C-alpha cells in the first residue's frame, strides 16, 4: 500500500544553508520515525512558500546516504493570504504496511501550527 507521509518545517532566513539544514532535519526525522528505506519510496514532493528562493530544498535529500535515486520534485506552494511564511512542506509517497493511523507525520518549528492535532514538535528548530 502506498501511503503519504507528511512533514513541514519553517526557516528563519531565506538562505541556502538554513534551507538545506532544515530540510535535512525534517527528512531524517520523517525517515527515522516511520522506518522508511529509500527503496520503498515512490517519490517525494517538496513545496516551499514564495518567500523561499535561495535554494532547492531537495538538495538535502542527496545528503542522506542511499537516497540518491529517489525521485524528488520541488514546487511553490499556493500563496494563500495570511498563510505560514518561510515554510518547507514534504509529501513522501511510501510503500508501507503501516495503517494511516500508524504513520507519523512530522511538523517542526513554526509548522506545528499547521497540524496542532499531531503534536510532533521536539523543538529542533
Is 3 assigned a catalytic role?
no
pLDDT 10s digits, 6-44: 999 999 999 999 999 999 999 999 999 999 999 999 999
* 110 within 8 A of 87, measured Cβ to Cβ: yes
- Residue 104's pLDDT band (boundaries 50, 70, 90)? very high
Mean pLDDT of the chain: 93
Is 115 assigned a catalytic role?
yes
The pTM of the full predicted model, rounded to 2 decimals, is 0.91
* 85 within 8 A of 109, measured Cβ to Cβ: no
Catalytic residue among 24, 29, 87, 89: 89
Topology of domain 2-114, CATH: 60s Ribosomal Protein L30; Chain: A; (3.30.1330)
Is 6 assigned a catalytic role?
yes
Amino acid at each position: 500500500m502506498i501511503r503519504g507521509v507528511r512533514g513541514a518545517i519553517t526557516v528563519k532566513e531565506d538562505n541556502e544553508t538554513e534551507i538545506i539544514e532544515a530540510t535535512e532535519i525534517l527528512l531524517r526525522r520523517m525517515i527515522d520515525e516511520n522506518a522508511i528505506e529509500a527503496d520503498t519510496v515512490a517519490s517525494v514532493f517538496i513545496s516551499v512558500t514564495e518567500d523561499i528562493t535561495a535554494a532547492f530544498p531537495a538538495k538535502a535529500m542527496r545528503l542522506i546516504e542511499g537516497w540518491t535515486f529517489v525521485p524528488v520534485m520541488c514546487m511553490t506552494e499556493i500563496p494563500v493570504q495570511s498563510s505560514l511564511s518561510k515554510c518547507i512542506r514534504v509529501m513522501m509517497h511510501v510503500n508501507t504496511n503501516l495503517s494511516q493511523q500508524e504513520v507519523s507525520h512530522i511538523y517542526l518549528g513554526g509548522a506545528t501550527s499547521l497540524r496542532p492535532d499531531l503534536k510532533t514538535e521536539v523543538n529542533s528548530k
